Amino acid sequence: MAGRGNFSSKLGFIAAAAGSAVGLGNIWGFPYEVGSGGGAIFVLIYLFFCFTLCLPVMMTEIAIGRKTAKNAVGAFEKLGYKNWRFIGMLGLLSGVLILSFYNVIAGWAFGYVIEMAKSNFAVADSFSTFTSDVFTVGLYGFVFMGITAFVVSKGVSGGIEKAAKFLMPTLIIMIIGIAVYSFTLPNAIDGLKFYLIPDFSKVTGQVIFNALGQAFFSLSLGMGAFITYGSYVGKNDNLVSSATLITLADVGIAFLAGLLIFPLIGFMSEGSMLNVGRGPALIFVTLPQIFGHIGGGLGSLFGTAFFTLLCFAALTSTVSLLEVPVAYLVDERKMNRKKASWLVAGTIFVIGIPSLLSAGYSQFFTNFITYVGAESATDFLSFIANVANDSFLPLGGILITVFASHVWKRENLHEELALGNPNYHQSWLKKYLNFVMPIIVPMVLGIVFILTILVNFFGF
Ligand code: PHE
C-alpha cells in the first residue's frame, strides 16, 4: 500500500473517524433540533435510530473501504461493479457541497473565538451584521479551509490521525468543563428537565424523521466518508467494535453538548425555557448573550473556550469531508496528495462563496429560493444544506445498503466483518444484520427520504 497511507493503530482510526462524526452537527445542530423537536423525546428517538439503523450502515461503509483499500469511487470498481461507481460519485458530490457551506459556518465559529476573547458579546445582538461583513467572515473561512487543507495534505497518519488525537480529547475536556460550570447556575435544573424528561405527547412524524436525518448527518453516513477512512484500516482490526465505539463517541458528545447548553438556557430564561432563540440561532445568538450575562472575564473565558471547542469539532469533520475527494484524486487520478489537497480545498472554497454571501450580504443569495407552499424564502446556504444533508445523504445510504445486500452480497460483508473478530459468525449481530439489511434499512431510509423531500421542498 505504499503511497496511500494507513492509520497507525486502531485507536488512531477511532479518533479520526469519531472526529469526522463529531462536528457542528453535534454541538450546533443537535441542541437546536432537540430544542425545536420537543426535548427529551427527540433524544430518545435519535438514540434509537443511531444504534438500530445507522450503525449497520456505518459497518457496511467501513467494511467496503477496508476490503478494497480504495476511495469512495474506486471501491465499487475494485469489488468488480464498475457500474456502481456512481454511488461514490454521488458521495463525492455530497462531500463537496457539504464542505462548501460547512466551512462558512466553521468560519463564523472561528470569528466568534476572536470576538469572545475581546469580550464583544454584543456580536450576538447583530448576528446578521457579523455574517454580512463578507470580507471579514470570508477571511475566517479562508483560513479555516487552509488549516483543513494543511492537515489533509500531511496524509493519513501524519496529518488526519495526529490532529484528531490531539483535538478530540481536548474537546471532551472542554465540554465537560463548561457543562460542570453550567450546572452551577441558577435555574440550570429547569434546562436539564426539559432535556432529560421525555414528553411523549410531542412525538410527530416530523420529529421522527428529523431525528433520523440528524443521526445520519451526525454520523457522517451516506457519502463514503467511512468507505474512505475504512480503506486505511488494518486487516486485523475489529470493525464491529470500532464502529460501535465511533457511534458511542458521537452520541456521547452530542449528549454532553446538550448537558452544557440546556442548563445555560434554563439560566437565561429564568427557568421558563421560553423566549430564548432555538433553531440555528441558538449557538451564535443565545449562547453569547448568556456569556455576556455571566459577564466580565469569566464570560469571556467560557465564551472563548466554547467557540474554540466548536472549531476543533468542526475541523476534524472538514478534514474528513476534504479527504473523500482528495483520496479519489490520489487513487484514481494519481495526483500527488499535497497538490490534490490544496486544489480541492481552493475549489470548494470558491463553490462556497454564494453560501458566504447568502447570510445577509447579497439579497439574491439571501432570498435565493421559495419552496412550494413556503411563507418565506430560503437562503442559498440552507438550500444547499437541504439538498446535500437531507436528500443526498439518505439517498447514498439507501444505495450503499442495497448494493451491499443485493449486489456485493451479504456473505462478503460478513466475511469482512469477521476479520479481526473471530466470534462474529456466532454473534447476534450477524443475525441482526441479516434481518435488517436487505429490506428494513433501505425501506426506512427510503420513506424518510421521500417524506423529507415532500416536506422540505413541496410544503406537505
Ligand atoms: N458528522 C459531521 C457533523 O456532525 C458532518 C459530516 C457529515 C462530516 C458528512 C463528514 C461527512 O458535523
Provide the 8-state DSSP code for 279.
T
- Domain tally, the chain: 1
Is 70 exceeded by the pLDDT of residue 131? yes
Name the residue of 92, 320, 390 whose CB sits within 8 Å of the most ligand 1 atoms, as the mutation to test its pocket: 320
> Does 1 fall in a domain?
no
- Which residue is associated with the grid cell 474506486? 74
> Is the separation of the CB atoms in 288 and 124 below 8 Å?
yes
Q: Could you identify the atom of ligand 1 that is nearest to the CA of residue 314? A: 12
Q: What is the pLDDT of residues 10-50, one digit of tens each?
A: 999 999 999 999 999 999 889 888 887 878 899 999 999 99
Segments forming the whole domain that contains residue 73 = 10-458
> Does 4 fall in a domain?
no
Residue 107's nearest CA partner among 278, 280, 352 is 352
- State the SS3 of 325-388: HHHHHHHHCCCCHHHHHHHHHHHHHHHCHHHHHCCCCCHHHHCCECCCCCCCCECHHHHHHHHH
> Does 2 fall in a domain?
no
pLDDT-derived band of residue 285, with 50, 70 and 90 as boundaries?
confident
> Does 77 fall in a domain?
yes
> Which CATH number characterizes residue 451's domain?
1.10.4160
Q: What is the pLDDT of residues 225-241, one digit of tens each?
A: 999 999 999 999 999 99
Give the Å distances, CA to CA, from 255 to 183, 200, 420.
15, 19, 30
CA of 225 to the centre of ligand 1 (A): 9
Name the residue of 46, 171, 220 whose CB sits within 8 Å of the most ligand 1 atoms, as the mutation to test its pocket: 220
Q: What is the pLDDT of residues 68-121, one digit of tens each?
A: 999 999 999 999 999 999 999 999 999 999 999 999 999 999 999 999 999 999
pLDDT of 456 reads 83
Interatomic CA distance for residues 121 and 353, integer angstroms:
27
